[in-house]
């Protein structure tokens, strides 16, 4: 009886065709994942494409010094805010009350200068202090009372807005020539809010990227329980993040009031949507532990350019809000795609 030789199949030989086929089919997914993972690069590409298209289509309106200054000035407020929001989102939380804190801070500054007759510098400091106090309240509610940040800041959004109306009624106008200089002074063709924003962004980028204390936000956002066990004071650091966010909202509110020489109670309505959209576009994850201040600022710049393009095209302001909402959905979907692909 003749024995038939049995040849064992080579696993590598058997799997290679299937592997090659999968690799060929999956390269678009890998490309999208790389873009999602390098969010700053993606935003730079999108900004460059938008600038090129608008320059070609509207050569007389878009690539002008006046339009560039307008875009940068409009992006200054949200650039200040996104630095604080990105810090919170890296730590796994957020603040929905920043628009109300912004309005309250601007009104407090206006009352101190216009009604109490104190110097402009006193109004500036009072406005920032009011914003920081709002952040302190949010931080205590979230970290000490352990109420979810969504509910806590949604409640304080209404509280701070009501307090704004109680303090000033319909607002404070005019505030004063010395105070408005902080929002209207110009240097190298750019008004002062741009330079304040540039300083805040540069300082925020350096602190988050280079200092040990602020790097702890990444550990907290990645796994708060593990961070606590490793010796990180999660509650205290998160509280610090809320105070910084509030102080930056205060600064943005003061600069906005100085720019208009008027403090209005409706300031900052809806700004939280744009800021959170920019942060998610910039790489912040809703789960925490990811993101960068630079990415957040690039997100702000992209949204500002999109809004500027819509204005040049004559698109109404209501459509602009719809576009921002769609951009937020896209950014969250991109984040979800990245998380699913990793898992």
- Measured CA to CA, the distance from residue 260 to residue 182 in angstroms comes to 10
Give the single-character DSSP code of 274: H
271, part of any domain: yes
Q: Which residues pair with 191 in a beta bridge?
A: 186
CA distances from 195 to 76, 113, 187, 237, 305 (A): 8, 23, 9, 28, 19
Interior/surface letters 118-148, b for 16+ CB within 10 angstroms, e for the rest: bebeebbbbbbbbbbbbbbbbbbbbbeeeee
Q: What is the pTM of this model?
A: 0.85
322, part of any domain: no
Q: State the residue range of the domain holding 238.
A: 77-313
144, part of any domain: yes
- Which of these, 37, 159, 38, 143, lies nearest to 93 by C-alpha position? 143
- Domain count within the chain: 1
Residues 275/284, Cβ–Cβ less than 8 Å: no
CA distances from 104 to 34, 67, 162, 253, 310 (A): 42, 30, 9, 8, 30
55, part of any domain: no
* Lookup: tokens for 169: 């009624």
202, part of any domain: yes
- Measured CA to CA, the distance from residue 273 to residue 279 in angstroms comes to 10
3, part of any domain: no
319, part of any domain: no
Residues 58/257, Cβ–Cβ less than 8 Å: no
Place of tokens 């205060």: 250
Q: Return per-residue pLDDT of the chain as tens, 343 residues.
A: 444 444 444 544 444 444 444 444 466 666 555 655 677 888 898 899 999 999 998 888 888 888 999 899 989 999 999 999 999 999 999 999 999 999 999 999 999 999 998 999 999 999 999 999 999 999 999 999 999 999 999 999 999 999 999 988 887 888 888 888 898 888 888 889 999 999 999 999 999 999 999 999 999 999 999 999 999 999 999 999 999 999 999 999 999 999 999 888 989 898 998 899 899 888 888 788 888 999 999 999 999 998 898 888 888 777 877 887 887 787 777 767 666 666 5
71, part of any domain: no
């Amino acid at each position: 009886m003749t024995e038939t030789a049995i040849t064992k199949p080579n696993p590598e030989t058997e799997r290679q065709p299937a592997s090659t086929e999968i690799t060929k089919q999956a390269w678009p997914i890998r490309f999208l994942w790389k873009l999602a993972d390098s969010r700053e690069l993606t935003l730079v590409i999108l900004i460059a494409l938008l600038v090129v298209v608008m320059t070609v289509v509207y050569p007389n309106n878009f690539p002008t010094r006046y339009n560039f200054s307008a875009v940068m000035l409009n992006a200054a407020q949200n650039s200040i805010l996104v630095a604080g929001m990105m810090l919170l989102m890296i730590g796994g939380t957020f603040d929905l009350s920043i628009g109300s804190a912004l309005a309250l801070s601007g009104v407090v500054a206006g009352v101190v200068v216009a009604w109490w007759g104190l110097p402009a510098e006193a109004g500036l400091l009072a406005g920032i202090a009011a914003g920081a106090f709002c952040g302190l309240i949010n931080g205590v509610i979230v970290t000490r009372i352990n109420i979810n940040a969504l509910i806590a800041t949604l409640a304080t959004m209404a509280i701070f807005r009501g307090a704004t109306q109680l303090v000033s009624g319909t607002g404070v106008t005019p505030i004063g020539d010395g105070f408005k200089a902080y929002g209207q002074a110009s240097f190298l063709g750019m008004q002062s809010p741009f330079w304040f924003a540039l300083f805040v962004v540069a300082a925020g980028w350096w602190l988050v990227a280079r200092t040990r204390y602020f790097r702890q936000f990444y550990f907290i956002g990645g796994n708060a329980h593990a961070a606590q066990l490793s010796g990180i004071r999660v509650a205290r650091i998160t509280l610090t993040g809320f105070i910084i966010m509030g102080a930056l909202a205060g600064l943005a509110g003061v600069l906005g009031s100085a720019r208009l020489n008027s403090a209005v109670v409706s300031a900052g309505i809806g700004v939280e949507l744009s800021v959170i959209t920019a942060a998610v576009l910039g790489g912040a994850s809703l789960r925490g532990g990811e993101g960068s201040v630079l990415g957040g600022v690039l997100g702000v710049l992209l949204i500002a350019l999109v809004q500027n393009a819509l204005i040049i095209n004559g698109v109404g302001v209501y459509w602009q809000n719809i576009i921002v909402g769609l951009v937020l959905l896209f950014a969250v979907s991109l984040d979800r795609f990245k998380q699913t692909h990793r898992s």
